[in-house]
Amino acid sequence: MEEGTGSRIIYHFWHPLIVSHLYERLSAARCAQLHRRAASALLRAHQGHEGEIAAAITYHLSKGGADPTEVAHYAELAGNQAYSLSAFAEAEQYYIQAIQTITHGKLPLKEGDFEAVLHKADNSLAEIEEPLHVARLLERVCECIEVQGNYEDARRTYECILVLRNQQRTFASEDEWMREAQIQALIWREIGRTWTANGFFDQAYVCYQRGKQAMLEAGVTSGAAWACVHLELGSIRSLQGNYDESTRIALEALEMLEQAMQERNEESGYPPVGHPVGHKREEQPGTLNELTKLNERNVHNRDNYNSFQTRTERAILGAPLEVGRAHELLGVIAANVGQFAEALQQLHKALAIFEQHNLATALAQVYSNLGAVHAVKSENSMALTYMQRSLELAERLGNQPNIAIVTGNLGEMATRSGKLREAEEWFRRSLAMAESINEADQISWCNTALAVTLQDQGDLMGAAECIRRSLSIARSMKSTRNIGGALIALANLRIMQAIIAGKLHHEGTNAENVSYSTVLCTRLLMRAMSTLQRAVVVEGLETELVVEGQLILASIYFLLGDMERAKQETVHTMEEAERYELTRMLARSYRLLGRILAVCGEYTQANAYFDRALQIFRECEFRLDYARALHGYGVTLIERRAPGDVQFGKGLAYLHQARDIFADCHAN
| pLDDT per 10-residue tile (average), the chain, 668 residues | 53 63 65 77 81 86 84 92 91 93 75 48 66 93 93 93 83 88 96 95 95 94 94 93 95 94 73 45 36 37 54 91 97 96 97 94 96 95 96 95 97 95 98 96 97 96 97 93 95 94 66 62 94 89 94 95 96 96 96 96 95 96 96 92 79 95 94
80: CB partners within 8 A, 6+ apart? 51, 54, 91, 291, 294, 308
Residue (of 629, 631, 502) closest to 560 by Cα position: 502
Distance CA 259, CA 257 (A): 5
Q: Which of 339, 357, 375 is the last residue of a domain?
A: 357
Distance CA 28, CA 630 (A): 79
What letter does residue 654 receive in the DSSP assignment? H
Residue (of 65, 87, 196) closest to 140 by Cα position: 87
Flag whether 90 is in a domain: yes
Flag whether 508 is in a domain: no
CA pseudo-torsion sign 566, 485, 588, 493: negative
Flag whether 481 is in a domain: no
Flag whether 394 is in a domain: yes
- Total H helices, total E strands in the chain: 31, 2
Q: CB count, 10 Å around CB of 227? A: 24
Helix (H) or strand (E) holding 3: strand 2-3
Shared domain for 87 and 143, answered yes or no, is yes
Distance CA 78, CA 42 (A): 14
Distance CA 300, CA 304 (A): 9
Distance CA 294, CA 297 (A): 5
What's the N-to-C CA distance of the chain in angstroms?
A: 67
19: CB partners within 8 A, 6+ apart? 13
Q: Are 551 and 589 in contact (CB under 8 A)?
A: yes
For the stretch 356-381, what's the b/e string if a residue is b when 16 or more beta carbons lie within 10 angstroms of its beta carbon?
A: bbbbbbbbbbbbbbbbbbbbbbbbbe
Flag whether 389 is in a domain: yes
Shared domain for 269 and 393, answered yes or no, is no
Q: Are 206 and 178 in contact (CB under 8 A)?
A: no
Q: Tell me whether residue 152 is exposed, middle or buried, using C-beta atoms within 10 angstroms of its C-beta: 0 to 12, 13 to 18, 19 or more.
A: middle
Distance CA 111, CA 92 (A): 9
Shared domain for 402 and 340, answered yes or no, is no
Question: For position 125, which CATH number holds?
Answer: 1.25.40
Q: Tell me whether residue 81 is exposed, middle or buried, using C-beta atoms within 10 angstroms of its C-beta: 0 to 12, 13 to 18, 19 or more.
A: buried
Flag whether 655 is in a domain: no
Shared domain for 26 and 156, answered yes or no, is yes
Question: For position 446, which CATH number holds?
Answer: 1.25.40.10
Which pLDDT value is given to residue 123?
A: 58
Distance CA 406, CA 367 (A): 9
Shared domain for 383 and 325, answered yes or no, is no
Provide the 3-class DSSP secondary structure of residue 282: coil
- CB-facing half-sphere around the CA of 536: CA atoms within 13 A: 17
Shared domain for 84 and 152, answered yes or no, is yes
Alpha helices, H only, 269-339 = 288-300, 311-317, 320-336
Instruction: Give me the amino acid identity at 23.
Output: Y
Which pLDDT value is given to residue 44?
A: 82
Cα–Cα distances (Å) from 105 to 68, 96, 563, in that order, read 12, 10, 76
Q: CB count, 10 Å around CB of 8? A: 7
Instruction: Give me the amino acid identity at 12.
Output: H
Flag whether 558 is in a domain: no
Distance CA 304, CA 43 (A): 18
CA pseudo-torsion sign 36, 39, 44, 48: negative
Distance CA 419, CA 429 (A): 15
CA pseudo-torsion sign 397, 398, 402, 405: positive
Which pLDDT value is given to residue 540?
A: 85
Shared domain for 352 and 363, answered yes or no, is no
486: CB partners within 8 A, 6+ apart? 444, 447, 448, 467, 470, 471, 474
Cα–Cα distances (Å) from 202 to 114, 237, 478, 538, in that order, read 24, 11, 9, 19
Distance CA 430, CA 121 (A): 39
Distance CA 556, CA 626 (A): 21
Alpha helices, H only, 64-150 = 68-84, 88-103, 115-119, 122-126, 131-147
545: CB partners within 8 A, 6+ apart? 484, 485, 488, 535
pTM score of the predicted model: 0.85
Residue (of 363, 365, 452) closest to 414 by Cα position: 452
375: CB partners within 8 A, 6+ apart? 383, 387, 409, 412, 413, 416
Q: Which of 406, 436, 462 is the last residue of a domain?
A: 462
Q: By residue range, what is the domain housing residue 336? A: 222-273+319-357
Shared domain for 156 and 227, answered yes or no, is no
Q: What share of the chain is helix, strand, coil (3-state, %, to 5)?
A: 75, 0, 20
Shared domain for 351 and 405, answered yes or no, is no
Which pLDDT value is given to residue 329?
A: 97
Shared domain for 119 and 261, answered yes or no, is no
Flag whether 528 is in a domain: no
Q: Are 344 and 372 in contact (CB under 8 A)?
A: no
Q: Which of 437, 462, 487 is the last residue of a domain?
A: 462
Helix (H) or strand (E) holding 11: strand 10-11
Number of folded domains that form the chain: 3
Shared domain for 328 and 445, answered yes or no, is no
Q: CB count, 10 Å around CB of 268? A: 9
Shared domain for 338 and 395, answered yes or no, is no
Distance CA 38, CA 47 (A): 14
